[in-house]
Amino acid sequence: MASDSNGGATPGRGWRTRVALAGLAVVTALAGCQSPPAPQGPVVEVAGGAIAGTVEDGVRVFRGIPYAAAPVGERRWRAPAPPEAWNGVRRAAAFGPACPQPSRPDRPSRVGETAEDCLFLNVWAPPEAREAPVMVWIHGGAFRLGSGAQPFYDGTSFAANGVILVTFNYRLGRFGFFAHPALDEGGNFGLMDQAAALAWVRDNIGAFGGDPGNVTVFGESAGGASVLYLLTSPKTEGLFQRAAVQSGGGLQITRHLSEARGRLPSLVTLGTRWRGADVDAGALRALPVDEVIGEELGGGIGATGPVIDGDWVVGDPGSRLLAGEFHRVPVLVGANSNEASVLTAFGTDAEQAVSASRVDPGRLEALYPMADRERVAWGDAAFVAGARLTAKAVAEAGEEAYLYHFDYVLERRRDKVPGAGHGSEIPFVFNTLDELPMPRLLVSDADRAMARRLHSHWLNFARSGDPAGAAEGYWPAYAPARDTLLYIGSDRVEARSGLRRAALDFHEDRWRRATGR
């Protein structure tokens, strides 16, 4: 030990180090006894634990909430399980990853990060909600693309107008719709995810101030088709009280799980073609994500999606509707005037698609006496006729149906496109026109007024089941004899009867013959 100048002993460097470390240990121990900082933002308790959201533009927002266990490892290609619980308060400020999907060659996907652990949902809620109506959105993307976090699906305007908006991810492509002899489950995993999200809403939305007895499920394209499958599934009774189908078809011919259906091979056959019949379940579940995704968008519209499995799906949606085998809820349904625009994403066009359908050219010309008849005819066959059949079947079963035809084009785009493209109604329904590229240059005051108008109709439907909000004669409930819909055009919005009736009858008759209806 060293001595100081007065002859006293002074501690060496090692002693001082031991004292410092002891002091640090005391400080650390004291810090461990303190409570963690209070979470910022609103906190609610849901299945799994507590979550803390944010307040943005005056509404409460909760992102990235797990509604099911991660479908990874042994849980790949199994029905969704309840989410795993967590300790403390989970931050719910950021979206969860989107489900794995191919790249989109024609435009940026805007889905952000992807991961197989992707079963998350998002909630926008009014600040003081009490038994508020709830709308649950199912995104489109041919059952291969998309997520519930895409910018057009922002729920701020819904929540600002008193309606809770929920979006979510579901398994896509081979992850969502797959079967193989080695698996003890098969088929409709993506559809099961959608039902699990709706069940989560039923069980948890009260914590956000929502009314679990007033849920509207709605979606566009594959999301709209999903609504039709959910509407006609024996497994989804009571999960929603209203349904809205935007460009969801209705004349689908659905693939079967284990049997060929006409020219459609079964889902099991597709699985064995991809990987062979001898591979075991462990090897399938160990495949890298990119290998499961496979090629880009080959196969066209309808190449993947729900299949008839005798359990979740027991028939084509249109056939089930016509037989009255669907949940008795009000339905809002419609399609757009230029649905053929979607074909560009699949490397084809309307002329090629119509030619492949082998429709007699003379018959087509008689039904569509216009220069671009293939464009209109394909849209009618794929979407418009199915929307009318859906409305007709619902009305004939004694429920209220509301049919629309969307033909509104942005004011500054009217000399550039032939009509309202596939999905173009979405930013109007959500009142999210500002998410368009260069909105200040592209979006006019008239466009914003139309967005507020269309948005109000979806809000009204969620609140009461009447999209017109009791405006007499403006948008009457569909009646087959009158065949009246709401025409939403660039120059006017009005009730119209008999829109291309002969042409839609033609497409419906072809579908009936093909399905034995």
Q: Are 478 and 393 in contact (CB under 8 A)?
A: no
Q: If DSSP codes are grouped into helix, strand and coil, which group holds residue 114?
A: strand
Report d(CA 230, CA 241) in Å as an integer: 12
Q: Are 188 and 177 in contact (CB under 8 A)?
A: yes
Report d(CA 37, CA 35) in Å as an integer: 6
Q: What residue type is assigned to position 344 of the chain? A: T
Report d(CA 205, CA 221) in Å as an integer: 26
Strand partners, 101: none
The DSSP string of 453-501 is HHHHHHHHHHHHS-TTTT-TTTSPPP-TTT-EEEEEESS-EEEEE-TTH
- Least Cα distance to 468 among 413, 374, 411, 400 occurs for 400
Report d(CA 384, CA 386) in Å as an integer: 5
Q: If DSSP codes are grouped into helix, strand and coil, which group holds residue 154?
A: coil
Q: Are 461 and 216 in contact (CB under 8 A)?
A: yes
Q: If DSSP codes are grouped into helix, strand and coil, which group holds residue 141?
A: coil
Strand partners, 488: 406, 493
- Please name the helix (run of DSSP H) or strand (run of DSSP E) that holds residue 448, with its range, or none: helix 445-464
Q: Are 375 and 342 in contact (CB under 8 A)?
A: no
Catalytic residues: 221, 339, 422
Q: If DSSP codes are grouped into helix, strand and coil, which group holds residue 172?
A: coil
Q: If DSSP codes are grouped into helix, strand and coil, which group holds residue 361?
A: helix
Q: Are 59 and 160 in contact (CB under 8 A)?
A: yes
- Provide CB contacts within 8 A for 4, sequence distance 6+: 10
Q: Give me the residue label for tokens 């963690």.
A: 36
Report d(CA 335, CA 245) in Å as an integer: 9
Q: Give me the residue label for tokens 């009255």.
A: 324
Q: Are 162 and 191 in contact (CB under 8 A)?
A: no
Strand partners, 98: 114
Radius of gyration of the chain (CA): 27
